[in-house]
A and B are shown apart, each in its own frame.
Chain A
């Protein structure tokens, strides 16, 4: 019997649960390797070769190369691990977050200064979104 996952109908949100952690193990451990300056240098010099050293799926590697953070999240990436990628490129958490929302960094920053994204309309998936789960 499957475990209950009540968070699946929260819109725009991927919970890093045990199943996702299993899927994303090598992706996240690759990210962790970027904590070392030497690895950051090697990664940025030749991304594909560095990624090939990790037993990640081709889809995970492609998502990293595209810097598609939403795709990385859906393939088991965790945001605190993925942060090692954008930190390697001196991109701030706020800038990186904006890329996941489809907003420009400036629009996103202004939204935060104005009090953040409102909970209104953002607590449950719509019927259409649910049909796509």
Chain B
């Protein structure tokens, strides 16, 4: 059977992707941020999974207002980097895992999570920036990636609790897949940020520190925080953090924290990063 061995959490700011693509990671502004991802690169080289289930959101790239699925799972074989208005990022295309993805879709729908399924979809910086942060700039991504897109653009996004419970359903699905695959699940987006209106630029370090701490130790309690708390305290776009609960819900209650990193700013945003492993005996 397949198992979920670890989870990675990270912000997915587009400017981070641009810094990588344009060779600016050593600049004074960016160096402290990229230093926080050095551990993760070494870690994943040793713990290379077969498949990553990558929870992210599309930013009006592939989905416009004609179609706004709350949860959409990619069961296709390959996904191209999206052209977000200035040409696609110069990164490898993303290879899916249609068999595992289809199995997850069938399992979680029977578990009452009414997913949308897609096969052809371009993936934007929300998905490719986390890959670049963890894997650098390889010719081809070193593992398969199943995209799970969550609507956090049109309010309201799903609740933290709904996301946490979907994570649990995904865990059950992975555990019933016959092939022996090592699967990681990544939650992306956040942390505190607001990109719009006179309050743009809001950063709440206290909120973010508390979120990181409780995501590790009290995820179920934290998942019950209502949307208004994110909007008010972490900024209108800070609400992306609900996506992290899908990854956390798919993990064991008790986890080993391997790495934690926090940095302000990347453009308009606070950057948070966690790596959690399940214990070997789980």
Residues of chain A at the chain B interface (Cβ within 8 Å):
6-7, 10-18, 21, 25, 28-29, 31-32, 34-35, 40, 69-70, 73, 78-81, 83-84, 87-88, 92-94, 97-98, 100-102, 108, 111-113, 115-119, 122-124
Contact = CB atoms under 8 A, between A and B. Distances in A.
Given A21-B65, A70-B197, A93-B195, A16 B155 contact: yes
Interface stretch (B96-104, B178-186, B225-233, B253-261): B225-233
B194 interface: yes
B231 A28 contact: no
Given A94-B267, A116-B270, A119-B233, A21 B154 contact: yes
Interface string B191-209: 0101111111111111100
Interface residues of B, number: 45
Nearest to B228: A6
B196 A73 contact: yes
Nearest to B201: A117
Given A12-B200, A28-B64, A108-B201, 18 more contacts: A12-B197, A12-B198, A17-B156, A28-B65, A69-B196, A80-B153, A88-B85, A93-B14, A93-B195, A101-B197, A101-B201, A102-B198, A113-B29, A116-B270, A117-B194, A119-B206, A122-B199, A122-B202
Given A28-B64, A116-B265, A100 B200 contact: yes
22 contacts: A7-B227, A7-B228, A10-B231, A11-B199, A13-B231, A16-B153, A16-B155, A17-B156, A29-B66, A31-B60, A80-B59, A81-B65, A97-B201, A101-B197, A101-B201, A112-B201, A112-B203, A112-B264, A115-B265, A117-B199, A117-B203, A122-B202
A87 B197 contact: no
A110 to B, nearest CB: 11
Given A101-B200, A119-B233, A123-B232, A13 B194 contact: yes
B8 to A, nearest CB: 24
Contacts of A6: 228
Contacts of A81: 60, 64-65
Interface of B: 14-15, 29, 59-61, 64-66, 83-86, 153-156, 192, 194-207, 227-228, 231-233, 235-237, 264-265, 267-268, 270
